[in-house]
Amino acid sequence: MAKKKICQWLNSTEYGSLVLRHGHVAACCTRELILLEKGTDFTKMSYEEIQNKRKELFEKMNSETSPCKNCCFMYEAEEENIDIGKLTFVVFHPHKTCNLKCSYCCYARSGEVLEKFDKEKYNIYQVISHLHDINILKDDFGIELGGGEPMLLEGIPESIEFLSKYYPKSTIQFISNFTLTNRIDKLIPVLINRKIKANLKTSVDCGTRKSYKKIRGFDLYNTMRNNILTAAKSNAFDDIILKYIFLDDCSNAGDNDINGFIKLVKEVKKANPNITSVVIDGDTTQFFKSKFTKTDMLPDKALKAACKIYRECSNIGCQFKWHGERVSYSSLSGRKQIEIILNSKNIQTLTLLQKIFSVKTENNHNVWRILGIKFSFRCK
């Protein structure tokens, strides 16, 4: 059987997704290849309209004029393993509006975080119920709400109830800065009673108020911290994913930030009855500029700090998700970095073990270390 080029975004046996973003419909979140133009009403698209465009892109991907050339997410697969079918994942990032202005965010840099958006037009409940009506969702599909800040969206509680009724195997994921306390306080009781999976992915990026204000633009470190801990204690999420984006100048790779972050992870892990995860990543500005053809390694200082986060947080049972843009299995440099981070734990464990149990000769003495206690006997 012939092999064809494909990527996880298009292949419904994997991620098979639809990206509803900023007024248009795209095939992926990387080069954002447009399937349906800006101004598309997300509550009016037909099944055929969407799937014909996805299949058209698959044909183009395998032609001389492929818009996906050199994309590091593309690979070859047997045709029988390719399915441009129902959606496994929906990315819903309809607006760019946000209450923060992070230094690494292109919408903050362009000022688009301040834009007003049409809350009725982008009511998430209306969109999900339409996708259900056209029968394009797999039973166990996932939906990611992002933006901008997704807590600004209308229709979230209704969506959770709808999904609980019609898609009990589905997952809703929030990519939120988790600082909009009023909205979060109203959402938590709905999440406590959910019958679907709900995940929170939130970027922390530091461990002090000062750094948070510098990186995220507002003094909301404690607000974010309290909200996450409230959600953890309330059993509001099946997985709380705490992300650390290292800046290229390593200004957030110092001890205060790393130790503060590890402390927060430990507190969340203790309070959260479900999964607590960590994602390590780097600023993606340059990666986006290269059109996803070139990913750089994190600077040495950041990589060393990432190893410390990994050692300390995996030791208390946190999961590590290699889902970053720069630190993921999708690229060569990503795989190298993951290997370095994973190996750092083995090196540390070996050194620690040697410190606890070892027999050596030092300065004409036999030195035994048992359970960390040192016994020294003069050699005969």
Interacting residues with ligand SF4 (CB under 6 A): 7, 9-10, 27-28, 30-31, 33, 68, 71, 73-74, 98, 100-102, 105, 107-108, 113, 147-149, 177
Q: How far is the CB of 27 from ligand SF4 (least distance, A)?
A: 5
Provide the phi-psi class of 192: left if phi over 0, else alpha when psi is between -120 and 50, else beta: alpha
Q: 107 or 162, CB closer to ligand SF4?
A: 107
Q: How far is the CB of 129 from ligand SF4 (least distance, A)?
A: 26
Q: d(Cα 285, Cα 51) in Å, to the nearest integer?
A: 31
Residues 238 and 198: beta-carbon distance below 8 Å: yes
SS3 category, 128:
helix
State the minimum distance, in angstroms, from the CB of residue 149 to ligand SF4. Answer: 6
Of 107 and 246, which CB lies nearer to ligand SF4 in the complex structure? 107
Residue by residue, DSSP assigns 28-82 as -SSS--EEE-TT--TTT--HHHHHHHHHHHHHHHTSTT-TTTT-TTEEEEEGGG-
Nearest residue (CB) to ligand SF4, 286 versus 315: 286
Query: Nearer Cβ to ligand SF4, position 170 or 330?
Result: 330
Give the burial class of 357: count Cβ atoms within 10 A of its Cβ; 0-12 exposed, 13-18 middle, 19 or more buried. Answer: exposed
Tokens of 141: 């599909």
For 172, phi then psi, to 5°, come to -115, 130
Output the smallest distance, CB 257 to ligand SF4, in A.
17
Q: At what angle do helices 300-315 and 255-271 cross, to 10 degrees?
A: 20
- Which of 165, 210 has the CB closer to ligand SF4? 210
The 275-282 sheet, strands edge to edge: 34-36, 24-26, 17-21, 87-93, 137-145, 171-175, 197-203, 239-246, 275-282, 319-320
Structure tokens of 57?
């892109």
Between 58 and 162, name the residue whose CB sits nearer to ligand SF4. Answer: 58
Closest by alpha carbon to 202, among 251, 171, 245? 245
Q: Shortest gap between Cβ of 7 and ligand SF4 (angstroms)?
A: 3
Which DSSP helix (H) or strand (E) runs through 200? strand 197-203
For residues 143 and 151, which CB has a smaller minimum distance to ligand SF4 in the complex?
151
In terms of CB distance, is 31 or 209 closer to ligand SF4?
31
Q: What's the closest the beta carbon of residue 260 comes to ligand SF4, in angstroms?
A: 19
- Nearest distance in Å: CB 146, ligand SF4: 8
Of 178, 187, 326, which Cα lies nearest the Cα of 264?
178
Least distance from ligand SF4 to the Cβ atom of residue 338, Å: 20
